[in-house]
A and B are shown apart, each in its own frame.
Chain A
Amino acid sequence: MNKLLTISPSPHQHTDDSVRKIMYRVLLALVPALIWSVIYFGMDAVRVTLLAVLSCVAFEYLIQRFVMKVQTTVTDGSAALTGLLLAFNVPSNLPWWIILMGSFFAIAIAKLSFGGLGGNIFNPALVGRVFLLISFPAQMTTWPVSRMAETDAVTAATPLGILKGGVLSGRPLQELSGNLPGIDNLLLGNMGGSLGEISAALLILGGIYLLWKKIITWQIPVSILLTMAVYAGIFWLINPEKYIDPLFHILAGGAILGAIYMATDMVTSPMTGKAQLIYGIGIGIITMTIRLFGAYPEGVSFAILIMNGFTPLLNSMIKPKRFGGKQP
């Protein structure tokens, strides 16, 4: 034989799955919600999304190529995913320079300074979003109205914003309910909000696809949403005059987007099922505490980032069940 045989240690078969496939599948899962955003907010949504995705990819390429001087990993799709998630988390009328700053912060500070994909402790897209929210509170909380809405208003409020404003001014819930969208509109996404968070139904659809492809586990989304429901439910049962029902809390704001797409980020979430449940419960509790008692109307981003910080601890504390029953 003139050809050399290959020698490598076993196993000699490998899965067809790859990091790239995982990333592209998550991107695919987000497409339906993106389409709805384009329908709802118009071409502005396209502008924001394209800008965020392309800038994230470009920043990653440039930094890896010229600053870190390593093999670039832009083709694995993780930078594009960060960009898309960032776009989903900002209002669709955000000025271009703010988006660029968010992308830069997400990629350069939150991701590459930790060593790139796999090294980051916090979800890059959320770090970018929270950075923008704190730096540019006015622009980040001015939501555009739908192009389909028959109104002269230039800005719309989010359901949670209306709620928070009402609670802060001490008005009872009944007075507000006329301004709040119903469950059907919440599911469909007929409400104000960030670019991608509005359509709960389409986000859940993508989530089912990810579950089927085994990219996310049920533990994180279910534990987050269930904890939120229980938390909100307790207060709702105590005082329905002041607190709104749990279903509203789950469907409004970024809970669905956060629970299915952001909290489940593999790099920044715990590994074992049990740890994932604790992580999800933590996110649920922090989110609802911020929503009900904090200054911000929405707390999903903060909750996920805080629990991201606990991930290494959860990973080292909660070990998978060993075969034979002896734990280390």
Chain B
Amino acid sequence: MLKTFKLGGVHPPENKLSADSEIVELPLSPTVFIPVGQHIGAPATAVVKKGDQVKTGQLIARSSGFVSANVHSSVSGTVTKVDLVPDSGGYPRVGVVIKVEGDDWDDQIDTSPDLKSEISLTGPEIIEKIKEAGIVGMGGATFPTHVKLVPPRGMKFEMLLINGVECEPFLTSDNRLMIEKSDEIVVGTRLLMKAMGVDKAFIGIENNKPEAIRKMEKAVNGISGISVVPLKVKYPQGGEKQLIKAVTGREVSSGALPVSVGCLVSNVGSAFAVYEAVQKNKPLFERVVTVTGKSLRNPSNVKVRIGTPVSDLILFAGGVPEDTGKIISGGPMMGKALATSDVPVTKGTSGIVLIPEKQAARKPQLACIRCSRCTNACPMGLEPFLLMTLSENSLWERLEKEMVLDCIECGSCSFSCPASRPLLDYIRYAKAKVGQLVRSRKH
């Protein structure tokens, strides 16, 4: 029996259209816009100004707090402005606009394609390197990796889990990365293990990616401590807590961090970025993005520089189809709909999904018939129907008691509702409200 998590979960149609298309490099865009806040935490502070010449891989914004991350230039050229530009939500964010001139890489970066597998650095040195390179969780959560690697006082890591689940429909970037860069990911895994001081690591991959499982198994062959764990397909297995449950059987309790059960979860993309940062001296300034959609001409996996406009990405994959009704940054279950394709690719952009107009509109909302599908689908064992009603009536204290803050916003409830009720919309709002309440109580 394949492993999986126990509570809830749904099976949205997989639609992995681009699973077999190899990663290709996107030609450079004429200008890039690199936001300084691409991660959870304090936005970095820009260290370049208008008119500065930058090289590819040069630091352009420095981490500005404990939870923050460096940002590097993804291209070489001239900084044309450091200004507010609307982000994917329409709210203005500070970013650095660079006019691309050639592709002149920083001298420190080792550009040779050879695999460098011997580890010469110590744990703290590795963490320092990761911090320098500005690596964040690349599955979409964008939490700075170097912060995660240092356990809170009194706690200890026991094992590392590498998240190769990619449970979101449509997305295939992690899958392709595991197939094409399996050895590098394993080196990255070993680096992370050393940084954490553990000797055990599991790479969790859903069994709808047989090629990735095969390649990764081959790559870990002969390396002690790392094993590949094939998992039964079920959304949202890529959720941190769900993956830990699936692989180890341990449950992270409400409000606790994964380290409370001795685990750390890292995305395969992050593991690859760690390899590049530590072994090749290359900061995080490019990533693999899946550009896909049922009407798109060439669904593909593209290696793209951070800051490239999403529109260039779509153009590369065949242009925006006539019937597009929605452009999503991320996967269709948790991604964010974009109002315009002029926003840049960031460290957390795992995919761009184009949804045809017909499927973009929601169905009209009906009355709840208490079919309990949302409750059965919730991977956290919550009661979405109840949370929504409480949220509609602004009963924040009650919501806190019903553990609304445990919600991981996976969308399984809204997905499964036969009455098309916007469960997650209300729950997400309730989470924000209850979060405010809890914070105000602390002060």
Contacts and interface: CB of A to CB of B under 8 A. Distances in A.
Interface of A: 1, 3, 5-15, 17-19, 21-22, 73, 76, 115-119, 266-267, 269, 271-272, 315, 319-326, 328
Main secondary structure of the interface of B (DSSP, over half): loop
A10 B428 CA distance: 10
Contact of B381 (A17, A22, A323): A323
B369 A117 contact: yes
Contacts of A321: 7, 381
B124 interface: no
Nearest to A217: B372
B368 interface: yes
A238 to B, nearest CB: 38
Given A5-B325, A117-B367, A15 B417 contact: yes
A38 B175 CA distance: 57
Contacts of A322: 254, 380-382, 403, 406
26 contacts: A3-B324, A7-B337, A7-B339, A8-B326, A8-B360, A9-B425, A10-B328, A10-B333, A10-B424, A11-B415, A12-B328, A13-B13, A15-B418, A18-B418, A21-B418, A22-B369, A22-B371, A73-B367, A118-B370, A266-B370, A266-B372, A320-B383, A323-B406, A324-B241, A324-B251, A324-B254
A320 B363 contact: no
**Minimum-distance CB pairs A-B, first 6:** A11-B411, A118-B367, A271-B372, A324-B253, A322-B381, A12-B332
B241 A323 contact: yes
A118 B422 CA distance: 16
Interface of B: 7, 10, 12-13, 169, 241, 245, 251-254, 256, 320, 324-328, 330, 332-340, 353, 355, 357, 359-363, 366-373, 375, 378-383, 385, 401-403, 406, 409, 411, 414-420, 422, 424-425, 428
Given A323-B381, A324-B406, 6 more contacts: A11-B411, A118-B369, A322-B381, A323-B7, A323-B254, A325-B253
Contact of A11 (B339, B378, B414): B414
B333 A320 contact: no
Nearest to A12: B332
Contacts of A319: 383
B12 to A, nearest CB: 5
Nearest to B355: A12
A323 B253 CA distance: 7
Contact of A8 (B330, B362, B370): B362
A11 B375 contact: no
Given A319-B383, A324-B252, A12 B337 contact: yes
B367 A116 contact: yes
Contacts of A8: 326, 337, 360, 362
A41 B325 CA distance: 55
A19 B418 contact: yes
B9 to A, nearest CB: 11
A12 B326 contact: yes
A267 B419 CA distance: 13
A2 B379 CA distance: 40
Given A7-B337, A324-B253, A324-B254, A15 B416 contact: yes
A129 to B, nearest CB: 21
A115 B353 CA distance: 40
A115 B367 CA distance: 10
Most B CB atoms within 10 A — which of A9, A11, A17, A324?
Answer: A11
Contacts of B373: 17
Nearest to B366: A19
Contact of B12 (A13, A73, A118, A267): A13
- Most-contacted residue by chain A among B13, B332, B417, B418 (CB, 10 A): B418
Contacts of A15: 10, 415-418
A14 B419 contact: no
Nearest to B8: A323
A324 B241 CA distance: 9
B379 to A, nearest CB: 7
Contacts of A19: 366, 369, 418-419
